[in-house]
Amino acid sequence: MAAAGEERCPGSPQLGAEALGGRRCSSPEETTLEVSWVQGFSNKNFGFINNQTVCYSCGNYILFLDIKTKKTTALQCQTGQVGAFAVNPNHGVLAFSDRKLNPVIYIYSFPELNKLTELKGHIQLDYALLAFSFLGPYLASYSSFPDFVLSIWNWQENILLCSESQPGVEATSISFNPMNWQQLCFVTESSVTIWHIERNHDEHCLIQNPVKLPDGQGSLNHHKDLFFPYSCVEDPYHGPIMPVSAIAGLVGDEAETFMPRTDIKPLLHPTAHCWTATSDVYLGCKEGYILAIDTKKCSFLLLSLLLRTDVGLYFSAQEGVLYVYRIRGLQYEMEICADISEPISSLIFSPDYTILLIITDQGKIYSYEPAHHGEAVKLVNAFSSYLLAADFLTLGDKYCVVRKGFFFLATAMACCPSSNSVAVGTKGGQIYFIDITKVEAPRVVHRIFLSKFPVLSLHYDQGGQFLIIRAMEGYIFILDARPSKLFQVLGYVGNT
């Protein structure tokens, strides 16, 4: 959601500098509207562009928040909504894709916000993920349906180095090894793959190395022989050992992959990962396990089996608590750092590792300084739920916003021009009238049941005398909008 305010000359940078302010052009024929402010939140695309500035996508914009001054700057995507997004604090650049047919990846510099280049591939619909390498001018991209293509770019020279298609594979995250740009961790909801980027002069290719994950019980020995899962140390008395597929009467391809249902155990489900200075990967799983992956052998160890020294691993749980594992030699201990009391979706360190950014599912951003062991400080309360409607209140210049999930399942909203009231339509065909004389304490003053059909839209006339309501099945109702008349129904038109 955004509000348009000041005017701007064509050709000026598409950003809001100094708290998104603007200036006016001398020629009225050449003026355009400039964004006054942008409000919104996405708990997926976040990153530090430098040690004190965090940026994230919001609709058609990239917002830059200075965590010390709390000032915000905006960069507009000229071709529509922002798709995938990534930052590179080492080079001071950011990349984002647009969401349109044959999408393009744009590279911008910071803080100048100048466009450096455009990366154009052969993707049909959308990019799902972007990731910068810490070393060198390399960018990884992964597209969504229908392509599912992993690509490696040299963004400085605008060259596609190599790509690999993975039909039907939906990734949740990708990241380069900070110590080696030729290693890439690729994570889905049920698998982990370490991709190696092999190079021979100017030729590049991607080599896939899947990691075998343990089952949901954390078992390290669940990978059995599918053909002869049962073994006998002595000669069988009743004849030779038969494959389970032969016992089941299967032939052909089914006989090669058949496994009894009792032997099928679901694997762990990865949810988050990070790289270590030794080029290993720590992997957090939905089931509560933390694994360490040796990227050279593509094998794993449970956290309780780790042989590491002086490692601090931060992670969060569903209940909104920030933990740290302090691993020293063969011993480790868990400490509670902060309690946010709401689900945490992302943890991001600043480039100098002095600030840990905590992002929640509810649209709040907190900062935590590990060295000081203090409380997490709230930076932004951006509200991440779906917005239903926005309208100006009768007095003042504030918004009244209703979101889905409100206690009466709101479907439409409108503010009355003649009184301090808001009308809210519901999925059950009811209209609630809310008194907003005190904006901080709105209260329901009246309710009308119109029909069993959901309300689609509400509209007041300019004088605020009548309220027109549109419901499903072609119903239109006209109400007296004055509170003194108790919002009387004046008439309706049905679907005949």
Structure tokens at 473: 């099945």
At 28-81, the pLDDT tens digits run 444 566 777 777 766 667 888 988 888 888 888 888 888 888 888 888 888 888
Pairing mode of beta strands 192-200, 203-211: antiparallel
Give the position of tokens 């100098």.
Answer: 352
Contact 401, 393 (CB under 8 A): no
Closest by CA position to 383, among listed 368, 367, 399, 371: 399
Specify burial of residue 258 (Cβ count, 10 A radius: 0-12, 13-18, 19+): middle
Choice among 125-139, 363-377, 409-423, 437-451 with the minimum mean pLDDT: 363-377
Q: 3-state SS of the chain: helix, strand, coil percent to 5?
A: 5, 50, 45
What is the structure's pLDDT at 396? 57
pLDDT of 10 strictly over 50: no
What is the per-residue pLDDT across 155-210, written as a single tens digit (0 to 9) for each?
Answer: 999 999 999 998 889 999 999 999 999 999 999 988 899 999 998 888 899 999 88
Q: Return the pLDDT at 96.
A: 92
pLDDT in tens, 359-378: 887 778 888 888 777 788 88
Q: Of residues 310 and 121, which shows the higher confidence score?
A: 121
Residue in 130, 131, 267, 259 with CA at minimum distance from that of residue 191 = 267
**pTM of the complete model:** 0.68
Peptide bond into 111 cis (omega under 30): yes
Q: Which of 85, 91, 89 is nearest to 60 (CA)?
A: 85
| Token pair belonging to 67 | 């965590």
pLDDT in tens, 305-347: 333 334 556 666 556 777 777 766 656 677 777 787 777 777 8
Where is pLDDT greater, at 418 or 143?
143
- Asked if the model's pLDDT at residue 2 lies above 50, the reply is no
Position 20 pLDDT exceeds 60: no
- Tokens at 312, concatenated: 């601090």
Q: What pLDDT is attached to residue 118?
A: 92
Residue spans of beta strands (DSSP E) within 295-420 = 299-302, 308-316, 321-329, 331-339, 344-349, 356-360, 364-368, 377-381, 387-392, 399-403, 410-415
Please give the pLDDT value at position 234. 52
Residue 133 pLDDT > 80, yes or no?
yes
What structural domains does the chain harbor? 387-493 (2.40.10.480)
Which pLDDT value is given to residue 25? Answer: 39
pLDDT value of position 329: 60
Q: Output the pLDDT for position 174.
A: 92
Phi, psi angle pair for 405, to nearest 5°: 95, 0
Of 403 and 240, the structure prediction assigns the larger pLDDT to 240
Lowest-confidence region among 1-10, 118-127, 368-377, 389-398: 1-10
Q: Is-contact 399 382, C-beta < 8 A?
A: no
Residue count of the chain, please give it: 496
Q: What is the residue-averaged pLDDT of the chain? A: 77
CA atoms of 368 and 435, how far apart (whole Å): 39
Of 10-14, 63-67, 247-251, 392-396, highest mean pLDDT? 63-67
Residue 303 has a pLDDT of 58
Residue 335 in contact with residue 344, Cβ under 8 Å? no
Residue 136 has pLDDT above 60, yes or no: yes
pLDDT at 155 (0 to 100): 93
